[in-house]
């Protein structure tokens, strides 16, 4: 019986319980009823860009979005991220429209990952 609840196979005992998706609060106004979701883009915009003006060939948000998309596709190393971007380059260029039509290389991803301040990310998670 315990496993059935964990897997979500049992219905709620309360007839008034509903699930909320999106930005529409439901229920009695308790904090858990308020929307707590943000888009990936909104979250990535809050990651500070540590680069100096001279070292900005690609927009910070583009770099983070490519890394996040590769991670979502289970690419866990810098080499795997770079290979994934190369494999999907045509689709990524059409949808993201990078400056000068070029996507970053593996060394750019390496530099980006090293530059991210992990202490600044802790409030995001």
Query: Which sequence spans correspond to the domains of the chain?
Result: 38-121
Average pLDDT of the residues in 58-78: 95
Smallest CA-to-CA distance from 16 within 7, 24, 25, 26 is with 26
Triad 31, 37, 43: Cα angle to 5°: 130
What's the confidence (pLDDT) of residue 92? 95
**pLDDT band, residue 119 (cuts 50/70/90):** confident
CA distance 66 to 89: 11
Of the listed ranges 16-25, 31-40, 53-62, the one predicted with least confidence: 16-25
CA distance 25 to 31: 10
pTM of the model: 0.66
Structure tokens at 59: 């927009």
What's the confidence (pLDDT) of residue 122? 66
Structure tokens at 69: 């998309």
- Burial degree of 82 (CB within 10 A; 0-12, 13-18, 19+): buried
Cβ atoms 109, 67 nearer than 8 A: yes
Determine the 3-state secondary structure of 4 from DSSP.
helix
- More confident call, 45 vs 24: 45
Q: What is the DSSP letter of 99?
A: G
Average pLDDT of the residues in 68-84: 96
What's the confidence (pLDDT) of residue 16? 39
pLDDT at 70 over 90: yes
**pLDDT band, residue 43 (cuts 50/70/90):** confident
């Amino acid at each position: 019986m315990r496993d059935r609840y964990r897997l979500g196979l049992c219905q709620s005992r309360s007839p008034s319980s509903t699930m909320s998706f999106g930005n529409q609060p439901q229920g009695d106004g308790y904090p858990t009823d308020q929307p707590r979701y943000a888009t990936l883009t909104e979250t990535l915009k809050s990651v500070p860009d540590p680069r100096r003006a001279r070292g900005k060939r690609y927009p910070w948000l583009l770099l983070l979005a490519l890394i996040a998309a590769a991670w979502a596709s289970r690419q866990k190393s810098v080499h795997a991220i770079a290979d994934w971007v190369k494999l999907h380059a045509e689709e990524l260029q059409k949808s993201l429209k990078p400056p000068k039509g070029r996507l970053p290389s593996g060394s750019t991803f390496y530099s980006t990952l090293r530059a991210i301040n992990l202490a600044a990310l802790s409030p995001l998670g």
